[in-house]
Amino acid sequence: LNRNLQEYSQFDFSSDENYNYGLDYSYVFKNVNLFGEVSRSQNGGMAYINGVIVSLDPRLSVSVFHRHYDRNFQNLFSNAIGESSRNVNENGLYVGATSKINRRWTLSAYYDVFQFPWLRYRTDAPSIGSEWLAQLNYRPSRKAEMYLRARRELKDENATGITEGINYLVDRRRTYLRYHTSFSLNDAVKLKSRVEVSEYVFGENDPEKGFLVYQDVSYKMTALPLTFSFRFAMFETDTYNARMYVYETDVLYAFSIPAYYYRGTRMYIMARVKLLKRMDIWLRYAQTYYDDRSVISSGLPEIQGNTKSEVKAQLRIKF
């Protein structure tokens, strides 16, 4: 690898050889589970994690997780818990809890505080941040379930509009509130609905807000080896910053988590057909319509118009 390293990424791996070695442990005593791992890369960078999961009561469990990743730790395949996509330049402490209030109600929450001792992309100084989430689940029957979730993320980021001098950091806050329901009409038909709002605040600027609502229908035919998935969504955000990501059903071995932003609608339909005992076919069509755009994206993927369509087809043969 021969990377174009910047100031914030100057400790990233950029060579043709690396090795890592480490040691992990796990110990269970009654209702307490202790675990951890320590690792070192060839250049001397260190990373370690330690955690504990405790069942305080049959209806209450608590997790505590601490992490430390050096700014020069180099492991292309590490996948430990962290705020960043890679396990580098981070110290953090996570505390989470799950409480089964009764047979129908469950409350889950966590609070995560983290620190970045070195620079990051669009953050030209050491920075800090935090994130919390609270979710209340209600399951009135075996066929129905719903939850209400609130989440907020706070990070430091470079101030905008700086033309001279050194960038200084300001708070960047994202807040999401979601209500989700899932209901099975019968063994063949399942419905999912969601309403979500978002808010993005950068420094002292005015809040940028977003709204999303969608309806899912999945149908599994009993007489034929055929399965359908359909979604129709409506969304509106003030800016791209207030975007919301939503998981979508996709063909086997693929995944789709598009960002919903600006104003428009999105739909997709996917079908899976099991032709023979060892042969499956997936067909997927998705379309996004923007009623406030005349051009979508820029550069090579630019589309002259306000509609973007996607087609996927996959055939699997098992030997």
**What is the tens place of the pLDDT at every residue in 93-151?**
999 999 999 999 999 999 999 999 999 999 999 999 999 999 999 999 999 999 999 99
Neighbours of 13 (CB within 10 A): 21
Band the pLDDT of 64: cuts 50, 70, 90.
very high
Residue 90, pLDDT > 80, answer yes
- 7 and 18 in contact (C-beta within 8 Å)? no
What confidence score (pLDDT) does residue 289 get? 97
What confidence score (pLDDT) does residue 187 get? 87
pLDDT tens per residue across span 214-242? 999 999 987 788 999 999 999 999 999 99
Which one is predicted more confidently, 223 or 17?
Answer: 17
Band the pLDDT of 163: cuts 50, 70, 90.
low
Region of 275 (left: φ > 0; alpha: ψ -120 to 50; beta: rest) is: alpha
Report the distance separating Cα 109 and Cα 103, nearest Å: 18
For residue 57, the Cα-to-chain-centroid distance in whole angstroms is 30
Which one is predicted more confidently, 301 or 235?
Answer: 235
Report the distance separating Cα 152 and Cα 171, nearest Å: 13
Residue 160, pLDDT > 90, answer no
Residue 297, pLDDT > 90, answer no
Percent of the chain with pLDDT over 90: 88
- 292 and 263 in contact (C-beta within 8 Å)? yes
What confidence score (pLDDT) does residue 221 get? 86
162-174 mean pLDDT: 84
Report the distance separating Cα 201 and Cα 155, nearest Å: 11
Angle at 174 between CA 65 and CA 136, to 5 degrees: 60
What confidence score (pLDDT) does residue 84 get? 87
- 167 and 159 in contact (C-beta within 8 Å)? yes
Mean pLDDT of the chain: 94
Percent of the chain with pLDDT over 70: 99
Q: Which pTM was predicted?
A: 0.91
The closest alpha carbon to 311, from 280, 270, 277, belongs to: 270
For residue 313, the Cα-to-chain-centroid distance in whole angstroms is 25
Report the distance separating Cα 30 and Cα 33, nearest Å: 8
Which residues neighbour 313 within 8 Å (Cβ) at sequence distance 6 or greater?
Answer: 251, 281, 282, 283, 284
